[in-house]
Structure 1
Amino acid sequence: MPKNLLFFAFSLLLLSCSNDDNLRNHNPNLIDQRVSIQLDLNLPQYNNLQFPGNSFVTYNYGINGIVIFNVNNSVYTAFEMSDPNHPLTDCSTLELNGTEVTCQCNDGNKYTIITGQQVAGTGQYSLKPYRIERRGTILEISN
């Protein structure tokens, strides 16, 4: 009897769990684009990323580009430069202003590149994150 109760409780726990990753990873507005980048921080174009509080945008990867932010030299963030709360259009490409990105569709959508959370406007999705890891002087960004 105790084994059956334990199995029932475990099954109930698994079935009742909600996963925010499901909402984040299945955004109908953004396509899944394969990303695998290595940036060498010793190269002049990435020099700003060696200092906390600085960012770099590359438009050569992702859907509409990727913004990379140095939080504290050991923690970096990388996010898609497309507004996650719009279907892809010319105005849904985000524009970087300091530590925030703004949608160009005149709807007031604004997000922080530190956490990816929406700070103004409306919508249910946060910025699409990419995995980022520092290995020596190399930043590896992928999904």
Structure 2
Amino acid sequence: MKFCNKKLFIILSVLLFTCSGDDDNRNRCNFLFDAGVNLTVNTNLPQFNQLQSTSNGVYVPNQGNNGIWLWRLNSSTLLAWDAADPSHAPGACSTLTDTGEFDIVVCGCDDENRYSLSTGVGLDGNTEPCTLQPYRVDNLGNNTFLVTN
């Protein structure tokens, strides 16, 4: 009987520590809320015409948590990401800004987290396991896209 109790204790201990680590990671990436987004993007309009070419991005304020980053991946695909660093609570320093480097945005907080607009993945150890919060993008045709969540 003692052997079974030890075995049960070890199994429960392993499960307890494994689950608490996952909770820490989930809580670390749980800063952003599901903001209602319903944005029509027409790349023929001046504010979006950079998106007519692949590998270009446009920041759209007053959407999502801290704005939205749009990224033209290829001729038919537009990606949309929340412009708030998912590793921080939304605030003045957590808005992601363009670095001038290909597809890379950075937050203004002390850790300067960097993310790729092509993949949504963090480029620094500080960002793991968080990724950019994506939005759904539907291609409506005629250079028009609908961004929603």
TM range (shorter): 0.7 to 0.9
Provide TM-score, normalisation by structure 1: 0.77
Contiguous gaps of at least 5 residues in structure 2 = 1-24
Q: CA deviation at 1:27?
A: 4.2
| Structure 1 residues 44 and 108, CA gap change in structure 2 (3 angstroms) | closer
Contiguous gaps of at least 5 residues in structure 1 = 1-22
Provide TM-score, normalisation by structure 2: 0.74
Listed as ranges, the matches of 1:9-28 within 5 Å are: 27-28=29-30
Equivalent of 1:48 in 47, 50, 57: 50
- Classify the secondary structure of the residue corresponding to 1:31: coil
Structure 1 counterpart of 2:110: 106
Q: CA deviation at 1:60?
A: 2.2
Alpha-carbon separation, structure 1, partners of 2:59 and 2:53 = 15
Runs of 4+ in 1 over 3 A off after TM superposition: none
The amino acid across from 2:118 in the alignment is I
Q: CA deviation at 1:83?
A: 0.6
Equivalent of 2:130 in 125, 131, 135: 125
* Deviation per residue, 1:40-69 (Å, 9 max, x gap): 122122111111111111002111100101
Alpha-carbon separation, structure 2, partners of 1:72 and 1:106 = 33
The amino acid across from 1:138 in the alignment is T
Q: Is the 8 A contact 1:108 1:121 kept in 2?
A: no
Q: Is the 8 A contact 2:87 2:130 kept in 1?
A: yes
Structure 1 counterpart of 2:20: none
Q: Normalized per residue, which structure has more helix?
A: 2
Aligned-pair RMSD on alpha carbons?
1.8
- Classify the secondary structure of the residue corresponding to 1:63: coil
- Is residue 2:71 matched to residue 1:66? no
Structure 2 counterpart of 1:138: 144
